[in-house]
Amino acid sequence: MRECERMASGSEDSSGRALFARELQAAREKADISQEALAAKINYSGSSVAMIESCRRAATPEFARRCDEALETPGTFARLQQHAGATLVPTWFRPYAEVEATATQLCLFEHSLVPGLLQTEDYARAVTSVQPNTTDAEVDERVAARMERQAILDRARPPLLWVVLDEGVLHRQVGSVKTAHGQLLHLADMSARPNINILVVPFSAGAHYAVLGAFAIADEDDKARVCYLETA
């Protein structure tokens, strides 16, 4: 747990993951089962449990749910994982992420990549893994945080989502051919949902002002509209 202790005393971004790790170890030891035994109960590998308890990997929502079932801690680890996921979002993005989480309508334009809310896990991993000076553990964290953000699309009353993509987004191969193909299929599946509209600006449209940068507009009931710009 030395790595967790170091992280807990360090950045805010790591404290949520360290708290999850400490509570998981405490609950497991209280239940008097080993990491390998817990792994067998939740259908994960022993190394996965060990890496999460040592803060070398972030827990996913599914991992947290299975831990709650196996350790009989109703919702505890789900809430801890949600908290950890929130702290994994970069500090500069958190103000918008908080608005996005409660928005009733989102309008997005992307000229280079599929927006995070519609990315598959493999696509998100391919995008984050090319960022300079990023460790495997940091990639895992960022992918987990991105997948957590997508939960708003599965809630009882999801936001109305309008997405406009430049045609180049569909042609750019991100990751392997399999990853790119899976992402296109996911876009098609998501576009079939009644609350999601995906439009494409064709190459034939020529130059347009929006190619200068991606942006998102979030609307909340009875609150001012919020715009987020993707810039250097």
pTM of the entire predicted model: 0.68
Domain boundaries, the chain: 2-88, 91-229
Render the burial of 209-226: b for 16+ CB within 10 Å, e for the rest.
eeeeebbbebbbeeeeeb
What number of other Cβ atoms are within 10 A of residue 196's Cβ? 20
| CA geometry: angle 209, 232, 167, nearest 5 deg | 40
pLDDT in tens, 136-180: 878 887 888 888 888 889 888 999 999 999 999 999 999 999 999
pLDDT in tens, 22-52: 999 999 999 999 999 999 999 999 998 998 9
Three-state DSSP at 33 gives coil
Q: What is the mean pLDDT of residues 95-103?
A: 84
**CATH architecture of the domain formed by 2-88:** Orthogonal Bundle (1.10)
Backbone angles phi, psi at 159, to 5 degrees: -70, 155
Tell me, what's the pLDDT at 7?
46
Determine how β-strand 215-219 pairs with β-strand 105-110: antiparallel
Tell me, what's the pLDDT at 55?
82
Tell me, what's the pLDDT at 215?
92
